[in-house]
Amino acid sequence: MKIIISPAKSLNFQKELPIKDFSIPLFLNDSCVINESLRLHSPKELKNLMGISEKLADLNWKRNINFKIPFNSENARPAIFTFAGDVYNGLDAFSLSLDKVIKSQDSLRILSGLYGLLKPLDLMQPYRLEMGTKLNVKDSSNLYEFWKEKITNKLNDELIEDELFINLASNEYSSVINKKKLVTNMVSPIFKDMKNGKLKIISFYAKKARGMMVRYILDNEINNEQDLKGFNHGGYSFSSEETEISNELVFIR
């Protein structure tokens, strides 16, 4: 079983780590290539490129300039304990048992505009680079072009035919995968809440629900679709009536 999730803009480099283990990102050399492109942009250019404030542009210009290898435990931090935000609040990695964190190295992958594909304990330095950013990198006009084949091929290397592959990433990030080339089908859960008498996808709640589902999968060692349908965290439950597409399982509350 494999799971993919999105990264987060919010980062936590302060909280004490519960584990000393770490790994190195597979595509770190590619991250260096992207960083070289980012370094060419001034704070003002970053502001326009990313649609962010001057304060954030200055911060991320400094991050780009300070990016350096090799990564180690002094200058970088494991991804699962660094990304914050709604998905990671739902996952609550700091309360995961250490054996579950270690096991997640085999099953959980984080998609990233800078790092491509991260394992939970892969080291990362602070950055902000959404997958949808139209950044020219070598012969690629955007990050989708740069990453699509690399990420798809790596996922295929890790997947076996008919293995359960759960997409809990946003459309912005999951779109980097060439789904036609995958060796297995991708199951994409959808979370809907009742609002004004109608079921709707509410971004804040959906993001947190994705994180809660990751936690449910890791805690219960889910490896088949039927058990996945048993997800009931946060008051959600599987709805066969709302599930109109077989690989888009709908959970409602």
CA 157 vs. chain centroid, Å, equals: 19
Report the C-alpha gap between 37 and 209 in whole angstroms: 35
92: left (phi over 0), alpha (psi -120 to 50) or beta: left
Residue 93 and residue 109 in contact, taking contact as beta carbons nearer than 8 Å: no
Q: What are phi and psi of 116, to 5 degrees?
A: 75, -75
**Could you read off the pLDDT of 214-242 as tens digits, one per residue?**
999 999 999 999 999 999 999 999 999 99
Q: What is the DSSP-derived secondary structure letter of residue 137?
A: B
pLDDT in tens, the chain (253 residues): 999 999 999 999 999 999 999 999 999 999 999 999 999 999 999 999 999 999 999 999 999 999 999 999 999 999 999 999 999 999 999 999 999 999 999 999 999 999 999 999 999 999 999 999 999 999 999 999 999 999 999 999 999 988 999 999 999 999 999 999 999 999 999 999 999 999 999 999 999 999 999 999 999 999 999 999 999 999 999 999 999 999 999 999 9
Question: Residue 125: its pLDDT value, please?
Answer: 98
Question: Residue 161: its pLDDT value, please?
Answer: 86
Question: Residue 195: its pLDDT value, please?
Answer: 94
Report the C-alpha gap between 120 and 196 in whole angstroms: 38
Q: Which residue, among 127, 110, 111, has the nearest Cα to 60 in the 3D structure?
A: 127
What does the H/E/C string look like for 187-215? ECCEEEEEECCEEECCHHHHHHHHHHHHH
**Could you read off the pLDDT of 144-162 as tens digits, one per residue?**
999 999 999 999 999 998 8
Q: What is the DSSP string of 99-131?
A: HHHHHHHHHEEEEETTTEEE-TTBEE------T
Report the C-alpha gap between 20 and 246 in whole angstroms: 41
Residue 31 and residue 111 in contact, taking contact as beta carbons nearer than 8 Å: no
Structural Rg of the chain based on CA atoms:
18
Which structure tokens are listed for 207?
């993001």
